Amino acid sequence: MSELTVFAASDGSVPSLQSSDHATIANALSSVGVRFERWDAGQAISAGDSHEAILLAYKTDIDRLIAEDGYQTVDVVGLTEDHPDKTAMRNKFLDEHTHSEDEVRFFVDGQGLFSLHLGDQVFEVLCQKGDLISVPANTPHWFDMGPNPRFVAIRLFNNPEGWVANFTGSDIANRFTRLEN
């Protein structure tokens, strides 16, 4: 189940908001400029389907976002708990960073925890299967896929080079929740 927890950036121990209600999550994130949607596949898909089949299943929503926001490339990425480099891959995203473009992820399967540092608050968004999150360009954030990752995600990019991080040097991410599977 998707979940939003909001904390003061100075204290990650007492939430000011916590919700598993999709409408509440979407409204709270929209108020700070973050898109959060639920998508349904346009056709049946199952574990192990090709990237092409996955993209075709969500074509209507993908095409809508491309038309609205001008994304240039779309791909599918996945990671499983038996991947030999899972620890290094997890660590790559755990420090606060920004991107010069939106970071758009749709969870076809599995889960991931996005933490957004917005002013004096941290918004922790547990994304699950069926969730789309779009973190606006230049938003400080970090991502945790957990110690035993299992997800398949569709990514949309404005920059044909794909994911490029600009690390902030802040240690804030170390003071907040980690995703423990």
Domain boundaries, the chain: 3-165
- Is residue 159 over pLDDT 90? no
Look up the CATH superfamily of 3-165: Jelly Rolls (2.60.120.10)
Task: Name residues whose C-beta falls within 8 Å of residue 160's C-beta, 6 or more positions apart in sequence.
Answer: 72, 73
Give pLDDT tens digits for 12-46. Answer: 899 999 999 999 999 999 999 999 999 999 888 87
Distance between CA atoms of residues 61 and 78, nearest Å: 19
> Average pLDDT over the chain, rounded to whole?
94
Question: Phi and psi at residue 60, in whole multiples of 5°?
Answer: -60, -50
Q: pTM score, two decimals?
A: 0.94
